[in-house]
Structure 1
Amino acid sequence: MSVNVTSKWIAEKIKSKVVVDLHVKIFVLHEFMQETFGVRIGNLKLYRAKERARTDIHGDHARGYEDLFQYAAVILKYDPSAICKVLCDAVNMPEKWLFQRFFMAFPAQRNALHNSCRLYIGLDICHLKSKYGGVLLVAVSMDANNRMVPLAIAVCEIENTETWTWFLEILHSYFDNGSYQITFCSNTQKSLLGAIGNT
């Protein structure tokens, strides 16, 4: 049966499926709505309902970026020794600041590097699959039992020499105590090699 239902109603009905699998396929939702409620829904309406259900469950990405300043302020209020930086582009769009980068690390991670980790930092990247894309830059170390210890993370608009330089400069200023040399390890990204030469 084909009926006229709203995306809001559909989102409520498919929310249980989206909770289990955030990337549930549209054809799975088609079958679920047909078998459970006896209704056929067009692809576009079902896609919109799926996005609405995801937003209801996990929140809106745009709102999340808007809340980063508050998030950073709360971190620094309760842990003043932490570092939490938010960088926005206020030049190209002065009427509306555009998020660019976010960096975060805590004193417990710094203490771990200085007191219980090997003199080693691994650097890597992963691409973010959200609506707005971007990349996640990470720095990790290894403890005496060969377990990874996360040190710092940053979300950036793109991976290039400029973003790696920004990340490494903050990492250096926060973690360097001047008493030893650190070995860096990565998968030889060209932009990272240029950034290491700059810092």
Structure 2
Amino acid sequence: MVRNIRFNNVHTHTAQDISDYKPIFHSKEMGRVIVNKVRDNPSYKPNVIYSDLESEFSVNMTYKQAWRAKERANQIIERCPKDSYILVPWLCQRISEAIPGTFTSWECTDDMRFKRVFVAYGCSIRGFNNYCRPILSIDDCHLSGNYKGTMLGATGYDANHGLWPLAYGIVSSENDDDWHWFLNLLKHILDGRSVTILTDRHPSLKKCVRDILALNTTHGVFGII
């Protein structure tokens, strides 16, 4: 079938239509535009960003789009957050050198991707083993953001009823393998000290506490000693 198409070279746009037109850009593109301003002024606020872009480029933006543009600019300046995982071994070494007695451990997968990390500062270890009550609260916190994961933590109590952070770990999730790994390292820094463990009695945590720390701990629930 043959179709005949005729071009009608008649413009119907008025001058007012052209003057009312405002280009629309994506936040990723706007991030490249404002990157120098963000580099010079890290506190550059999104409400100022969309006001500046609207007056300079006649761009229609919302506060959320301006916030995303600044996030994109920060990624260009600081690189993508996932690139910082390659620094984990170096950071562990630097922490150990800067704070005597600090104990760190990290692991990666077979394809060299970050798996988990454990950190206990030397000052926290000395303070807990020498001056704090023999009580440890162990729990987890699910992380938000782009990469998710779970933070495992062990917190003691000092003589003034204050909390004493002892150790933390970043792992994939709250499972038997990650709790087993975390508690084995925690047992190492306790240096044989007998403690009472307070937990929410999560099945994985309860099992690992019994298997790893049973010889030098008693086990309770949060709020009960």
> What TM-score do the two structures reach when normalised by structure 2?
0.69
Q: Distance in 2 between matches of 1:191 and 1:29?
A: 49
Q: Secondary structure at the match of 1:145?
A: coil
Distance 2:195 2:117 in 1: 24
Offset of residue 6 of structure 1:
4.1
Q: Kindly indicate whether the alpha-carbon contact (under 8 Å) linking 1:33 and 1:39 is maintained by their aligned counterparts in 2.
A: no
Offset from partner CA, 1:123-156 (integer Å, 9 cap, x none): 1211121211111111110101111110001111
Segments ≥4 residues shifted beyond 6 Å:
13-18, 28-31, 42-45
Q: Check if 1:53 corresponds to 2:77.
A: no
In structure 1, the residue corresponding to 2:116 is in which secondary structure? strand
Find the counterpart in structure 2 of residue 63 from structure 1: 83
Tell me which moved more, 30-39 or 74-83: 30-39
Aligned counterparts, 1:9-158, within 5 A:
9-10=33-34, 19=43, 32=51, 37=56, 38-41=58-61, 49-55=69-75, 60-79=80-99, 81-90=101-110, 93=111, 97-158=112-173
Stretch moving more, 98-107 or 1-10: 1-10
Matching residue's letter, 2:93 = A
Report the count of equivalent residues: 187
Which residue of structure 1 aligns with residue 195 of structure 2? 182
Q: Highest relative contact order (Cα 8 Å, sep 6+), 1 or 2? A: 1
Q: Shift of residue 184 of structure 1? A: 0.7
What residue number does 1:161 align with? 176
In structure 2, the CA distance between the partners of 1:107 and 1:34, relative to structure 1 (3 Å rule), is closer
How many Å separate the matches in 2 of 1:45 and 1:146? Answer: 46
Shift of 1:81: 2.3
Unaligned runs of 5+ in 2: 1-21, 213-225
1:48-91 CA-to-partner distances (Å, cap 9, x unmatched) read: 6243134357763212211011111212333452111110012x
Name the TM-score, length of structure 1 as normaliser. Answer: 0.76
Amino acid at match of 1:78: A
Rounded to whole Å, the distance in 2 between the matches of 1:186 and 1:77 is 32
Offset at residue 41 of structure 1 (A): 4.5
Q: Which shifted more, 56-65 or 136-145? A: 56-65
SS of 1:122 mapped into structure 2: strand
Q: Distance in 1 between matches of 2:55 and 2:89?
A: 43
Report the Cα distance in structure 1 between the residues aligned to 2:49 and 2:95, rounded to whole angstroms: 43
